Amino acid sequence: MSTQKLKNLIIGAGPAGLAVAGRMRKQNLDFVMLEQTDKIAWSWHNHYDRLLLHTVKQLSHLPHLPFPEDYPTYVSREQLVTYLENYAKHFDIKPQFNQSVFSIKKTSEAWEVNTKSNESYLAENVIIATGTNRVPNAPTWKGQDDFKGNIIHSRNYKNAQPFKNQKVLVVGMGNTGAEIALDLSEHNNDVTISVRSPITLVPRDVNGRPVQLTAKKLAKIPFGIGDWLGTQIRKVIIGDLTKYGVPISTKHPAVQLRETGKTPVIDLGTVQHIKDGKIKVKKDIEAFHSQGVIFEDGTRQDFDAVILATGYRAKVEDFLENVNGLLDKYEVPKQAVGEGEFKGLYFVGFDNYKLGGILGTIFTDSEVIVNTL
């Protein structure tokens, strides 16, 4: 096995890797990009059908190439995939596909990167753009093996069709769980959603105006007045959901995001379906039985299918040797530019803990990284 020496190596051909690559093209910096699948933005090809970006298009595009003018305010999954593929063509980004990295380690010369197809690279700079949604998080419960229904992770959910006439439990009320529950409810499924811990709900739009844009203006108002106004808006639009069984956080969305890592849930209609009784709410699961689950409050309920909207893990430790001191409390890299023993490593697409969405963070972090390079 020969080792290829190079200056810059990007791992991952999703939005994060593409953003860095686009900026590097602008700066005439050479790079090689590795992608473990057979396509650009594999995850976005495989997300559920109805998915739209929850952030507005003018704050969600990659560097140096805005979305087409005819794209709607909230870009669809299919439109985003087309845009990302066109972005790669526009900047002549040609990943080496089916190259799955299993080892990154420091040598006396540089960073040694090895792939499962026996390719080896020695790179001065390694940009890791594998993101926080790399490994599905699938918790298990007592009695789960006895359950006769179907259990899937939300990564494998495409649309409501396979669940027609079924009783479905969605576990988790983050943005994905809330929207999948809504999708099922809109297709007349019997839907229950299990909510374990307090959440913050934010309407996507108020009177036709994106809340994201309103929030940016409110953030400029001094003395915390903007935060107070935002709270009053949420109280009026969302209302008190505790009487429907939804535990609501008392913290401001930005504070909750910073302290717990939990992104505010952007409501697309789930709240109204809960108020109308079309989506039922239960507490956390205690255990499974053969026909369904037992909830924390002791109630038993039968289900045909369970969808785990329980998130993902970054798991950079799966391929990066020695992560001691690198990761924060959410088990993701603390910063975009590695320092000390991690000098030469760069991380983009891992900071999900800022208001404004991951694509906005990718835009700014990619600039920091390429300026450093």
- List pLDDT tens digits, range 25-68: 999 999 999 999 999 999 999 999 999 998 899 989 999 999 99
If one compares 172 and 240, the residue with the highest pLDDT of the two is: 172
Q: Lowest mean pLDDT of 95-104, 115-124, 146-155, 222-231, name the range.
A: 222-231
In whole numbers, what is the pLDDT of the chain averaged over residues?
89
What's the average model confidence in pLDDT over 114-140? Answer: 93
Q: What does the alpha-carbon distance between residue 211 and residue 305 come to, in Å, rounded to a whole number?
A: 34
Give me the pLDDT at residue 356, please. Answer: 59
In the structure encoding, which two tokens stand for residue 361, read together?
A: 């963070």
- Looking at the predicted structure, is the pLDDT value of residue 373 above 60? yes
SS3 (DSSP) at 285: strand
Give me the pLDDT at residue 213, please. Answer: 67
Confidence band for 257, pLDDT divided at 50, 70 and 90: low
Give me the pLDDT at residue 9, please. Answer: 98
Confirm whether pTM is higher than 0.75.
yes
Confidence band for 289, pLDDT divided at 50, 70 and 90: very high
Q: What does the alpha-carbon distance between residue 289 and residue 301 come to, in Å, rounded to a whole number?
A: 9
What's the average model confidence in pLDDT over 295-307? Answer: 96
Give me the pLDDT at residue 358, please. Answer: 85
Give me the pLDDT at residue 357, please. Answer: 73
What's the average model confidence in pLDDT over 119-147? Answer: 94
Give me the pLDDT at residue 231, please. Answer: 61
- Looking at the predicted structure, is the pLDDT value of residue 255 above 70? no
Give me the pLDDT at residue 209, please. Answer: 78
Percent of the chain with pLDDT over 70: 88
What's the average model confidence in pLDDT over 336-345? Answer: 93
Task: Report how far apart, in Å, the C-alpha atoms of 173 and of each of 17, 18, 45, 272, 332 are.
Answer: 29, 30, 23, 15, 22
Beta strands in the chain (DSSP E): 3-11, 32-34, 101-106, 111-115, 120-128, 135-136, 150-153, 167-171, 190-194, 201-203, 205-206, 209-210, 265-267, 279-282, 285-289, 292-295, 300-302, 305-308, 312-313, 345-347
Give me the pLDDT at residue 221, please. Answer: 59
Backbone φ and ψ for 123, nearest 5 degrees, come out as -120, 140
Backbone φ and ψ for 241, nearest 5 degrees, come out as -95, -5
Q: What does the alpha-carbon distance between residue 247 and residue 199 come to, in Å, rounded to a whole number?
A: 6
Angle at 106 between CA 97 and CA 28, to 5 degrees: 55
- Looking at the predicted structure, is the pLDDT value of residue 11 above 80? yes
Give me the pLDDT at residue 259, please. Answer: 65
The pairing of strands 300-302 and 292-295 is antiparallel
Each residue of 167-220: pLDDT tens digit? 999 999 999 999 999 999 999 999 999 999 888 888 888 777 776 665 666 556
Q: What does the alpha-carbon distance between residue 282 and residue 288 come to, in Å, rounded to a whole number?
A: 14
Residues 365, 370, 371, 373: what is their CA dihedral angle, to the nearest 10 degrees? Answer: 130
- Looking at the predicted structure, is the pLDDT value of residue 223 above 60? no
- Looking at the predicted structure, is the pLDDT value of residue 235 above 90? no
- Looking at the predicted structure, is the pLDDT value of residue 261 above 80? no
- Looking at the predicted structure, is the pLDDT value of residue 313 above 80? yes
Spatial CA neighbour of 338 closest among 306, 312, 357, 365: 365
Q: Lowest mean pLDDT of 245-249, 327-331, 350-354, name the range.
A: 350-354
Mention the CATH class of domain 146-308.
alpha beta
The Cβ of residue 2 has, within 10 Å, a number of other Cβ atoms equal to 6
The two domains 3-134+314-372 and 146-308 share their CATH topology (first three levels equal): yes
- Looking at the predicted structure, is the pLDDT value of residue 234 above 90? no
Spatial CA neighbour of 225 closest among 233, 242, 180: 233
What's the average model confidence in pLDDT over 104-127? Answer: 94
> For the domain 3-134+314-372, what is the CATH superfamily, name and number?
FAD/NAD(P)-binding domain (3.50.50.60)
Domains of the chain by residue range: 3-134+314-372, 146-308
Each residue of 73-100: pLDDT tens digit? 999 999 999 999 999 999 999 999 999 9
Give me the pLDDT at residue 220, please. Answer: 63
Q: What residues does 199 pair with on adjacent strands?
A: 248
If one compares 332 and 347, the residue with the highest pLDDT of the two is: 347
Q: What does the alpha-carbon distance between residue 361 and residue 373 come to, in Å, rounded to a whole number?
A: 18
If one compares 255 and 282, the residue with the highest pLDDT of the two is: 282
